Structure 1
Amino acid sequence: EIARQVECENRLIAYESVNENPEFIQKTAPDFKIIKQTGKDLGERMYQIFWWILHHKMHHVIIIGTDIPTLPTENLQMAFRQLIYHDVVLGPSFDGGYYLIGLKKPHREIFINIDWSSNRVLN
Structure 2
Amino acid sequence: MNQNQQTCIILFAKFPAQGMAKTRLQPALGIEGAAQMARRLLLHSIEQAVATGFTIELCVSPAPTDPCWQALGLPESLHWSAQVDGDLGLRMLTASQHALQPIELKNFKKVLLIGTDCPSLTATRMRQAAQQLEAQDSVMIPAFDGGYVLFGFKQVAAHLFSNIEWSTASVAKVTQQRLAELSWSVALLAPLPDIDEPEDLQYLPNGWLDGY
Check whether TM > 0.5. Answer: yes
In 1, are the aligned partners of 2:64 and 2:80 still within 8 Å (CA)? no
Q: Is 1:84–2:130 an aligned residue pair?
A: no
| 2:117 partner amino acid | D
* Partner residue in 2 for 1:7: 53
How much has 1:25 moved relative to structure 2? Answer: 7.5
- The residue correspondences of 1:42-53 to structure 2 (distance < 5 A) are 42-53=88-99
Alignment equivalent of 1:95, drawn from 141, 145, 165: 145
Residue 69 of structure 1: how far off its partner (Å) = 2.8
Pair 1:16-2:97 in alignment: no
Residue 58 in 1 paired to residue 116 in 2?
no
% same residue: 30
Q: C-alpha root-mean-square deviation of aligned residues, in Å? A: 2.2
Equivalent-residue separation in structure 1 for 2:157 and 2:71 (angstroms): 28
Q: Separation in 2 of the partners of 1:40 and 1:92?
A: 23
- Structure 1 unpaired stretches of 5+: none
When residues 52 and 100 of structure 1 are mapped into structure 2, their CA distance, relative to the original with a 3 A threshold, is: same
As a proportion of its length, which structure holds more helix? 2
Pair 1:18–1:60, CA change in 2 (3 A): closer
Report the number of matched residues.
122
2:168, 2:124 → 1: CA distance?
Answer: 26
- Mapped to 2, the partners of 1:77 and 1:67 lie a distance apart of 18
Distance 1:57 1:70 in 2: 29
Letter in 2 for 1:14: C
Q: Secondary structure at the match of 1:78?
A: helix
| Runs of at least 5 residues in structure 2 that lack an aligned partner in the other structure | 1-46, 174-212
Which consecutive aligned stretches of 4+ in structure 1 deviate over 6 angstroms post-superposition? Answer: none
Distance 1:39 1:104, change over 3 A: farther
